Amino acid sequence: MSGVAIEGRLHPLAAVLYGARVVRNAGPLLLAGWVTDIPHLALLGLAAAVLVIGIPLSVLAWWRFRYRVEDGRLFVDAGVLVRRNRVVPLERVRGVSLDEPLAHRVFGLVRARVEAAAAGDPGGELSLAAISRPQADALRDAVLRVAAPAADAPVVADPPPFAVMTPGRLALAGATSGRFVFVPAAAAAGMLSFADDLGLEGLLRRSAGAVADRAPHSAGGIVVGVLAAAVAAVGLAALGSVIADWAFELRADPQRLATVRGLLSRRRTTVDRRRLQGVEVCDSPVRRALGVASVMAPVGGFSVSSDGDAAGRVRLLPLGDAEEVARVVAEVAPGEPPGLEPHPRAGLARRITRAVALPLLVAPFPFLAGQPWVGWAAIAVALVMLPIALDRHRSLGHGVGHRLIVRSGSLTRRRSLLDPAAPVAYTLSSSPFQRRRGLASVTVHLGLGAGSRTVLDLGDDQAHALITALQPWTREAAVRPAAPPG
């Protein structure tokens, strides 16, 4: 297929971005040198050398970088010292993502990433540091139009939004994400290492001591303090979600899905529909109580890992009520999903063992060591884990029809509706403990970085029935017919 030829180079301001990268890398080193006893004149000379070499190199890097789409292939030529020429067949392109970091937005530029299939190759993703908005749209259309065979159909540049998120909904998404559990820990760790870097540890310790002196000592005061900290953490998580997903929109046209989001940097992710391997609804106990859930889609060969989109997965809806979730799910996987077949009760004991064994094994030691409250804490953890284990067992289920449906998890429960043709391989596995209870697990491997999904603790017969339903040629009878009756 020839035709659709576009070619171009990065926006001239890309040279400035390259230059900024040099400054960002060299700047801290020079600053660090300034406070040591290296002569300042030497450092100024070094800074001048960085500028004298760095500026022409940045311009040269911009000059050398060219891309073109021709004959069904994307060509990229780049490199100053090491010249690289990359050719990507457009059939291997999984999607194009366009982001607008803050600096880019000021100049109306876009950073484009072309997601190409190359299992396990980090260079499988191809990045164009800065191009203009119209260039980016032209590149995306040229790359994805060839990927989609219906090239004659007019591609709607921007289909109307299919789902949008209000700030209030986003705040709820953040507050119920469970992320707030990690926010204070991450903030504390970050602050500690920062203080360590600057030699401020003593100061930090003194101020911590001052805080401790002023900390409330009465039970009521402690409860108020803990509650205030919890509210602050949930608030931070809500704020983070509002900033990262500001004005989230999902757009759908017949060939692709696109999401746009972000307050400071706008991120736009476009995925070819045929690369979606299914759709997943994720929720948590809190979200279940509120009747809301989020929707993701596993995608092969998609390495976008900017916040929110884990590698191999694209978020289609940060949070929605049952009706919105059903609408997004139906957009990717139309039709009534197959019913969920529950897993045998024999698996419950395994869930309970996994949940409580560790805390109960650890519990006796603190009692022996004269720290009984640590021991009681371990027992309390075991008691808290018990209902979670029950819920984890209750949520297990699977079904096969025109989709493969798999559900598991409690604190983050995931219901996956997969295209039965998506998996590249299947594994039936059983540990000695599972075999003793007549159980087995089935893992479907999606490939190209989309990971795998495990159907946990099925009955042995269910496991065999599941794989033989998905791949009928693996049935024993189909290969070696049983002796004819009579």
Partner 1 sequence: MTATGPRLIEPSQPLDPRAIGLWAGQFRLAAALGLVIPGTVAVILLMSGARTPGLVLAGIAVVLGAVGAVLSVVWPPRFHARYRWEVLPEGVVVASGWLWQQLQVVPHSRIQAVDSSSGPWERRAGLASVHLRTASSEGSPKIPGLDAQVARDLAAIIAERAGTDDAT
What are the distances in angstroms from CA 134 to CA 11, 163, 258, 336? 11, 24, 17, 40
Q: Which is nearer to partner 1, 92 or 327 (CB)?
A: 92
Q: How far is the CB of 120 from partner 1 (least distance, A)?
A: 7
Q: How far is CA 315 from CA 215, 325, 389, 420, 465, in A?
A: 42, 12, 27, 21, 32
Bridge partner list, 293: 320
Q: Which is nearer to partner 1, 124 or 308 (CB)?
A: 124
| Minimum CB–partner distance for residue 94 and partner 1 (Å) | 9
Taking the complex as a whole, how short is the minimal distance between the CB of residue 479 and partner 1, in angstroms? 5
Q: How far is the CB of 304 from partner 1 (least distance, A)?
A: 17
Q: Which is nearer to partner 1, 63 or 426 (CB)?
A: 426
Q: Quick one: which of 375, 378, 377 has its CA closest to 366? A: 375
Whichever of 101 and 124 has its CB closer to partner 1, that residue is 124
3-state secondary structure of 413: strand
**What distance in Å separates the CA atoms of residue 435 and residue 438, rounded to the nearest whole number?**
5
Which of 193, 427 has the CB closer to partner 1?
427
Is 282:410 a contact under the CB 8 Å cutoff?
no
Separation between Cα atoms, residue 486 and residue 476, nearest integer Å:
21
Residues that bind partner 1 (CB under 8 A): 91-92, 117, 119-120, 300-301, 423-432, 435, 443, 445-448, 452, 459, 461-462, 464-465, 467-469, 471, 473-477, 479-480
CB 237 within 8 A of CB 187: no
Compute the least distance from the CB of residue 97 to partner 1, in Å: 19
CB 379 within 8 A of CB 366: no
Least distance (Å) between residue 450 CB and partner 1: 8
Residue in the structure block whose two tokens are 């017969």: 461
Give the tokens for residue 222.
């402690």
Q: Are 280 and 417 in contact (CB under 8 A)?
A: yes
Nearer to partner 1, 7 or 91 (CB): 91
Say if residues 369 and 378 touch (Cβ distance below 8 Å). Answer: no
CB 69 within 8 A of CB 142: yes
Can you tell me the distance from the alpha carbon of 387 to that of 101, in angstroms, rounded to the nearest whole number?
44
C-beta of 5 vs 310, nearer to partner 1: 310
Q: Residue by residue, what is the 3-state secondary structure of 109-163?
A: EEEEEEEECCCCCHHHEEEEEEEEHHHHHHHHHHHHHHHCCCCCCCCCCCCCEEE
Q: In this complex, which beta carbon is closest to partner 1, that of residue 257 or of residue 448?
A: 448
Neighbouring C-beta atoms of residue 472, cutoff 10 Å: 9
**Nearest distance, CB of residue 345 and partner 1, angstroms:** 15
Closest CB 407 distance from partner 1, rounded Å = 19
Query: What's the token pair of residue 448?
Result: 């190209």
Provide, rounded to whole angstroms, the least separation between the CB of residue 459 and partner 1: 8
Give the nearer residue to partner 1 in terms of CB position, either 10 or 450: 450
113, 126 Cβ separation under 8 angstroms: yes
Judged by CB, which is closer to partner 1: 78, or 458? 458
* Smallest separation, CB 68 to partner 1 (Å): 23
Closest separation between CB of residue 247 and partner 1, Å?
Answer: 33
3 Cβ partners below 8 Å, 6+ apart? Answer: none
Q: Which is nearer to partner 1, 104 or 343 (CB)?
A: 343
